[in-house]
Amino acid sequence: MKTYKGFNKDMTCRGFQYEEGKSYEEKEAIICETGFHACEYPLACFKYYRPSESIFHVVEQDGKISKHNDDSKVVSTKIKIGTEISISGLVKAAIEYTKERTKTENDSDSNYGASNATGNYGASNATGSCGASSATGDCGASSATGNYGASNATGNYGASSVTGYCGASSATGDCGASSATGNRGASSTTGYCGASSATGNCGASSATGDCGASSATGDCGTSSATGDCGASSATGYCGASSATGDYGASNATGNYGASSVTGYCGASSATGDCGASSATGNRGASSTTGDCGASSATGYCGASSATGDCGASSATGNYGASSATGNYGASSATGDYGTSSATGYKGASSATGDYGTSYVTGNCGVSSATGYKGNSKVDNPESIAVAWGYHSKAKGVIGSYLVFADWKGNEKNYWIQDEWHLQGAKMVRVDGINVKENVWYTLKNGELIEA
């Protein structure tokens, strides 16, 4: 039988390694104990595997088969791993799954027609411009085909689909599926484990509820997932993707894309030139790939990375990590114990905060550490390392320059910058004799000493 299975991103499940295209067999199949588990209803996978942290595959189950009493979970002694399926693919599969199990109660095949199905497993279909279709009840299916159509499914496991220009599709209830296909379409799911997909230019997709998944495919699309463990993806030129809630994942693919994730342990990624990626919350990760991208991670232990020429990367919060890779990149880490790195021609790296580390690799780079006991390092002869904080230090390769500030202050209150007093500054060149290569130095009472 055909089912759907979730995996960790490395294709493992409960410690077992799977591979696409391979078959596996076990002796027994006991639900929730032993055997190979999958789900008949595609979106039920979200109950067991967070869409923000997982991948999903179509599978074939065979041998001894047992079904769960409460949902569509299936266990078998044999399984074959099929192809990977995207969030939008799961939405379409969920709609087809629901339609196959419904009985048509109402149809409208004329323009401005209205179709309504009330009751569990009911199906409603409106075909024609400006049609309206509604299905109320668990496992209902609603479909509107034609420009300006509206489709609504209310109830758990409901499926709503609208096809055509400027259509609107909504699924309300746990594990609902909503799909809008066509330019300027809008798709929305409300409830736990819901999935929403908008395909077409300027489409909007929204999933509200824990473990929801939202996908917008097409230029200028907007995708939003609100709730813990949600996943949001926008693919296409000028797309916008947002995930709000703990463990959320947001991804924008295409030039000028914007990706934002808000909440603990969120992950945000923008791929394409001039993309913007932001992660707000502790342990968030933000990444932009492409020229002129901007990446920002705000919160404790955040990580920010910008890859491509003229990229900008910023990590704000204690223990943050920021990296800019590419020519003219700028990297900044603000907060105690932060790490900042710039790799490429004329890169700039700055660590602001106590015990911060700044590192530059590439010609004409500038590395700066501002804050108590900061570290600044350069790995190119035509670069400068600046150690400007109280008790900060710097080092570099032969040919590079080191800049130091000499401060006098209250050791007991080192964090109060108003009590620091600048006594002087000095710039030296690493020559391998008076100033050794790759040795940490600091400035104390006007004298350069090894740190």
Q: Assess whether 107 and 81 both reside in one domain.
A: no
Q: What is the pLDDT along the chain (451 residues), one digit of tens a residue?
A: 999 999 999 999 999 999 999 999 999 999 999 999 999 988 888 888 888 788 999 999 999 999 988 788 999 999 999 999 988 788 888 878 877 877 666 677 667 768 888 877 778 888 888 888 888 888 788 888 888 889 898 888 788 888 888 889 998 888 888 988 888 889 998 988 888 999 988 899 998 988 888 999 989 899 999 988 888 999 999 999 999 998 899 999 999 999 999 999 899 999 999 999 999 999 999 999 999 999 999 999 999 999 999 999 999 999 999 999 999 999 999 999 999 999 999 999 999 988 999 999 999 999 999 988 999 999 999 999 999 998 999 999 999 999 999 998 877 777 777 788 899 999 999 999 999 999 999 999 999 999 9
pTM of the predicted model as reported, rounded to 2 decimal places: 0.81
Is residue 40 in a domain? yes
Q: Assess whether 74 and 157 both reside in one domain.
A: no
Is residue 19 in a domain? yes
Residue where a domain terminates, one of 217, 233, 260: 217
How many domains in the chain? 2
Distance CA 111, CA 254 (A): 37
Q: Assess whether 128 and 163 both reside in one domain.
A: yes
Q: Assess whether 138 and 75 both reside in one domain.
A: no
Is residue 298 in a domain? no
Residue where a domain terminates, one of 53, 85, 117: 85
Mean pLDDT of the chain: 90
Is residue 401 in a domain? no
Is residue 61 in a domain? yes
Domain of residue 116, residue span: 101-217
Is residue 404 in a domain? no
Is residue 114 in a domain? yes
Residue where a domain terminates, one of 85, 118, 135: 85
Q: Assess whether 58 and 106 both reside in one domain.
A: no
Is residue 291 in a domain? no
